[in-house]
Amino acid sequence: MAVDAATAPSELDGSIRGEGEVAAKPPPSAAAPAARESPEELDRRYAPYARRDAYGPMGRGPLGAAEAARMAVAAAVLLPLRVVAGVLVLVAYYLVCRVCTLWVEEERAGGEGEGYARLQGWRRAWVVRCGRALSRAMLFVFGFYWIREHDRRFPDAEGKDLGHSELLERPGAIVSNHVSYVDILYHMSSSLPSFVAKRSVARLPLVGLISKCIGCIFVQRESKTSDFKGVSGAVTERIQRAHQQKNSPMMLLFPEGTTTNGDYLLPFKTGAFLARAPVQPVILRYPYKRFSPAWDSMDGARHVFLLLCQFVNHLEVVHLPVYYPSEQEKDDPKLYADNVRKLMAVEGNLILSDLGLAEKRVYHAALNGNNSLPRALHKKDD
């Protein structure tokens, strides 16, 4: 499982300087009585995390007879088939990765494991090709039969000198809004980038070897060794490498640091922009009729269950042009992050919000009737 770009230590102060609608941030003093507010009031206060589908807050809303019957049939027939198919796809990619890493020594670098990030030749080619194909197969298993994509990466390429260095300059990172764990599957099917993961992921059955092969950065946050560079330094180094080396996998980063319901864009952390390299902005949207694939305010097991029980899921993707930072933006990662965020909000018709992970924790605590968690407002997003 990927760890969001929130793990980077640098972060914005939450100020909004872009155009468009802005969702106000609740003051800390308003957090304590949040659990006593009605669900409607909570949804208005914490709008970026509010579910508006047929299943209601936390996916526990009352269902009509027709919806309940549909759910029962899907749970009995569709769910088992998808679980089996998903496991088969995962095992297939594990076997590919196992073959591609035979007689290859795993790389290590200080506190962060490099895994097999530097695979070359046929090994790298097979990991990428099979990874993209099987990730798309997994999306199909999840009910994403068609994905609508809008490619705006080269809107002004016609008539330009394609030898211009800027057109050939490779981005070092993909910067995406974060709506669901499905985001990672899509990006793997599109370009198979690397991402940041906890060190414990490397030890998981099947997933561990796969994450090493696609070049994930494994971070042991508790490490206190002198050669531990931290998340920010490791991400910056990998972005610069991807920017300079064509065969190096790009980094996938979610600078919001947490998921939303897909209608909002939270403040960006600056970790993705410290490398001074161009980035590839991507916007994801999940249209729905009954169940929203957005993983905003629901526990993981319930969300996966409902997602697999929905026969068809929809995904729309917008690939924006590569964003080349100015010299001023290179010297000011906060400005760079803010400008990319404003561009994505305009192009994706997203509402700017200054809420963050701390407010999301308060919202979840309030939905669960827990008054002890508003202290989360005073915790650093991690």
Q: Which residues of 244-259 are buried (b: 16+ CB within 10 A; e: fewer)?
A: eeeebbbbbbbbbbbb
The tokens for 145 are 């039969």
Q: Is the CB of residue 296 less than 8 Å from the CB of residue 260?
A: yes
H helices within the chain, ranges in order? 39-45, 65-73, 79-100, 121-141, 165-168, 182-190, 207-213, 230-244, 300-308, 327-331, 333-348, 357-367
User: Beta-strand (E) ranges in 199-332?
Assistant: 217-219, 251-253, 264-265, 279-285, 315-319
For residue 196, the cross-strand partners are 217
The whole-angstrom separation of Cα 327 and Cα 311 is 49
Q: Is the CB of residue 278 less than 8 Å from the CB of residue 20?
A: no
H helices within 142-206, ranges in order? 165-168, 182-190
94 has pLDDT over 70: yes
Q: Is the CB of residue 275 less than 8 Å from the CB of residue 236?
A: yes
Highest mean pLDDT among 98-112, 129-143, 226-240, 286-300: 129-143
pLDDT in tens, 217-260: 887 655 544 444 567 788 898 899 999 988 888 999 999 989 99
The whole-angstrom separation of Cα 44 and Cα 202 is 39
Q: For the whole prediction, is pTM greater than 0.85?
A: no
* Distance between first and last Cα of the chain: 15
Query: What number of H helices and E strands is found in the chain?
Result: 12, 12
For residue 135, what pLDDT is reported?
A: 97
Of 176, 157, 180, 179, the C-alpha closest to 168 is 157
**pLDDT tier, 10 (very low <50, low <70, confident <90, very high otherwise):** very low
Write phi, then psi, for 279 (nearest 5 degrees).
Answer: -125, 155
pLDDT in tens, 301-337: 999 999 999 999 999 999 999 999 999 999 999 999 9
Q: What is the mean pLDDT of residues 5-33?
A: 43
For residue 282, the cross-strand partners are 176, 319
Higher per-residue pLDDT: 41 or 347: 347
Q: What is the dihedral of CA 185, 190, 191, 196, to 10 degrees?
A: -20
* Alpha-carbon distance values, 190 to 15, 87, 134, 249, 358 (Å): 33, 21, 11, 12, 31
Q: Is the CB of residue 254 less than 8 Å from the CB of residue 178?
A: yes
Q: What is the mean pLDDT of residues 256-275?
A: 94
For residue 58, what pLDDT is reported?
A: 79
The whole-angstrom separation of Cα 325 and Cα 342 is 14
Pairing of strands 264-265, 351-353: parallel
57 has pLDDT over 60: yes
For residue 279, the cross-strand partners are 173, 323
Q: What is the dihedral of CA 83, 88, 94, 100, to 10 degrees?
A: -150
296 has pLDDT over 90: no
For residue 198, what pLDDT is reported?
A: 81
Side-chain half-sphere exposure of 272, counting CA atoms within 13 A: 37
Give residue limits of the domains in the chain: 41-154+169-368
